[in-house]
Every structure is written in C-alpha cells, then in structure tokens.
Chain A
C-alpha cells in the first residue's frame, strides 16, 4: 500500500493504540506503534477497567454496546492476568426520584436488547449487603464487567506484534504530520497514515484538537473478598459525569478478582498536576462512605491519579483529521491527509477501545462499518466551528 516505511504509525501504546495496532495488523497492514513510556502507561493504567454500556447519548450507547460485545467475543482468548469478570453493574438509586431514572434506563436498554434487572431494596441488599440502609433500589446490568486494563493492553499489543506490528517504546514523540513521526532523539518514522492515539496528550501533537485533561483519583484497598460483588455506581454519577465545569465526585466502587476494592471517582478540569489532591480525595471517600459506611474500616494500599481525554461533546474522535477551522486559522495541520485520530475517550476508553479499533480500521481500509460512525468523526467538530 505504501512507499513509506509503514502503512500506519500509531502514536500512543495505551489500550486504544494497542487495539488499533491489533486490528490494523489483522487486516494485513504494516503497523508501527511509538510511545515515550511503556504499554498502557497513561489513562490505561490509571483507570478502573469497567466494561460498561452507557446511555448518555445514542452514539455513546452504540459504541459502548458494540465494544462490549467485542470484549465478550474476545473473552475466551484473554489470558488469566487480564482478570475479566462479568460481575455486572448495579446503578444504585438512593431515593424514589432516582428509581424513575432506573425504570427509564431499563426501558431504554430493553428496547435495545440489553438485559437488565430492576432491584427493589430487598434484592439490592441481598446482592450488596454493605450498602447503607435506606436505598430505594437499583438497576442490575448483568453483562457489564471489569478487567485489568494494563494486561489487556499488553495482550492486544503482543497479538499485534505477532501479526507483524513493530513497537518503539521509551522515546517520546516530538512531532507528527505529513506522513512523518519525529521522536525526541531525532529518529524519523514514515508512514502513509499516522494515528494520534495519545489520549489526554493528543492535543500537544495535533494543535487545534479540542481535548481537555480531566483528572481523576482512585484508591485501592487491601483484600476483602466479598465486601463488594458488582461494580456499584450511584445514579447521581450521571450528574457528576455530565457536568462540564467544576469539580465533582461520585460513588463508584469496583470489586477486583483479588478481593481488593477500587474506590472512585472524581472529575476535575484544569488540574494539570498529577499529585493527589487531598481535598478531592476526602470528598471522594466521604461520598463513598455515604453509600457504603463499612469502607471506612478497610485498609487502603494505594492512591493515584490519572487524566481522561475529554471532548466537548463526550464522544471520542475516530477518523481522519485534515485540520479544522481553528487549525486553518493557525496555519497548522491544514490539508494534512496523513493524520487520523483515535482519542478523546474520556472515562470509557477501556470499554470502547475495541469498537474504536474496528471503526478506525474500517475507515482506513474502506470497509463498511458495523455501526454508524458519523457521531465519532473528527470532522463534526470542524463543522461546529464553521457554524459558530
């Protein structure tokens, strides 16, 4: 296909970059992946690893459901250390108002053939006895699951390598464009197509890209098997995730196969430093204890932060980026047909990595996608600017 060194150069060895390398390799393209750090060093290692169907928008539902089904197909091939567990999600309703949302969600999912179970308080406490008394109920989504993202990314990358992909780690990317990736040590890699899969750092390499870093905190406990059995998320989470400004926290806990419990979540814009912000941590843990008072008695092992790659409309950017209106104004990247994007997955990149890889590879190879891809095309943002 190419006179260049490779058909495709992927910048970023996170789970999205790894999934894209694997899928493009499967379709017979020659692929090289570059990353300044190790496989899955960014949001991939920082996140929870929740394989979840979401319904903020029809497009978000389509991509998360498509991707979840791809994970289920892949499941028999996943090594044990990926720790895929189909534990289900319970959306916890604190009051009757949130039960209205439970039933709306149930109706939405059932129309789209996603199995769910509405839980009354009795059923909720039978499944999760450590929740605070007085909850109104919840919605169980049994096909949701969890996995350990760094090992999933490594599995995908190793499979890509078996398909012939090359991997360059430990040397940061300085610049991309016009079919060329230049590393900080001066190495130049040429490819017909360059995929910017650099997550929260994508805008550093592609000026004009509307991606903001959205910081999150997580805590992991010692081993308490059985204390939490499903991924538990408060329905108020939607209010937190939807807020486009301001800092927010939500109750979101996840059982790991080890018996450890991941406790989240927080969302902050404009926090560029990766240090733990103690006031956010306190707010986040207080929120968790409001839902699950017994958490206060557990020992924690580690606390860390990470950065989600957030787009203004909460949907990822998957496809060609020939420069938008903003980029044209600044004179950067205009008309560069070599740049493709696979970034902006916010808090859903682990789930949507597989669907992203399919959609991206469909566009690169001219294959008809299995779901409508217009909502994810980067050109949608260019249109917005043009109309603004």
Chain B
C-alpha cells in the first residue's frame, strides 16, 4: 500500500496516495478544476499536459496543469474561475 498524503482543495483536506497527480486529488475532491470563459466547469481531459483543461492554482501560482504536478504533503490547491 502506498503512503497516504493530504493536500487541500479550496481549503478542504483530501487524502491521496503518494505519487498521485493533483488531477487525481481534484477527482477525489469531486470539484471542477476551473470554470471556462463561457461559464462551463472544466477538468482533466487528455491527462498528458496538452489540453490545458485541468488548470488549477497550486500554492498561489495560477494556471498549473494538475495532471502534470505530483501531490505533496500540505499542498494548497485552488480552483480557477
């Protein structure tokens, strides 16, 4: 069993297995990564860093592709409007 670590998504704790991407944490948290310009919810699509649909703010840095970043203990993730 991989070690469990905890990140926060919009302030709420989410437990993920060590080695999971932030996209996994978003799916486990059950929230959309961001809202599109036309107001639609958006989340991971390609899963390989190409489509930019899964952007979130990580540690205050906007527009990070959640599928390309590994979770770290205590990481603060926020969804984007």
Interface residues of A (CB under 8 A from B): 222-224, 258, 297, 299
- Alpha-carbon separation in the docked complex, A28 to B62 (Å): 52
Quote the shortest CB–CB distance from A125 to chain B (angstroms).
Answer: 20
- Alpha-carbon separation in the docked complex, A113 to B61 (Å): 43
- Alpha-carbon separation in the docked complex, A297 to B64 (Å): 11
Quote the shortest CB–CB distance from A225 to chain B (angstroms).
Answer: 9
Sample 8 A-B pairs with CB under 8 A, ordered by A number: A222-B62, A222-B63, A223-B62, A223-B63, A224-B62, A258-B37, A297-B61, A299-B63
Known: A222-B62, A223-B62, A297-B61. 5 other contacts (CB 8 A): A222-B63, A223-B63, A224-B62, A258-B37, A299-B63
Give the residues in chain B near A223, CB-CB below 8 Å.
Answer: 62-63
- Alpha-carbon separation in the docked complex, A185 to B62 (Å): 51
What are the 8 closest A-B residue pairs judged by CB atoms, nearest first? A222-B63, A299-B63, A224-B62, A297-B61, A223-B63, A258-B37, A222-B62, A223-B62
**Minimal Cβ-Cβ distance residue in A for B55:** A222
Quote the shortest CB–CB distance from A78 to chain B (angstroms).
Answer: 20
- Alpha-carbon separation in the docked complex, A226 to B51 (Å): 25
**Minimal Cβ-Cβ distance residue in A for B37:** A258
- Alpha-carbon separation in the docked complex, A299 to B63 (Å): 8
- Alpha-carbon separation in the docked complex, A223 to B63 (Å): 8
- Alpha-carbon separation in the docked complex, A258 to B63 (Å): 14
Quote the shortest CB–CB distance from A131 to chain B (angstroms).
Answer: 20
Give the residues in chain B near A299, CB-CB below 8 Å.
Answer: 63
Give the residues in chain B near A297, CB-CB below 8 Å.
Answer: 61
Give the residues in chain A near B61, CB-CB below 8 Å.
Answer: 297
- Alpha-carbon separation in the docked complex, A176 to B62 (Å): 52
Interface positions of B from 34 to 48, Cβ below 8 Å from A: 37
Quote the shortest CB–CB distance from B57 to chain A (angstroms).
Answer: 11
Give the residues in chain A near B62, CB-CB below 8 Å.
Answer: 222-224
- Alpha-carbon separation in the docked complex, A64 to B40 (Å): 41
Quote the shortest CB–CB distance from A169 to chain B (angstroms).
Answer: 29
Most chain-B Cβ atoms within 10 A of its Cβ — which of A224, A258, A297, A299? A299
Quote the shortest CB–CB distance from A203 to chain B (angstroms).
Answer: 41
Interface string of B10-42 (1 = CB under 8 A from A): 000000000000000000000000000100000
- Alpha-carbon separation in the docked complex, A365 to B13 (Å): 72
**Minimal Cβ-Cβ distance residue in A for B65:** A299
Quote the shortest CB–CB distance from B49 to chain A (angstroms).
Answer: 12
- Alpha-carbon separation in the docked complex, A258 to B36 (Å): 12
Interface string of B60-76 (1 = CB under 8 A from A): 01110000000000000
**Minimal Cβ-Cβ distance residue in B for A301:** B52
Give the residues in chain A near B63, CB-CB below 8 Å.
Answer: 222-223, 299
- Alpha-carbon separation in the docked complex, A258 to B62 (Å): 15
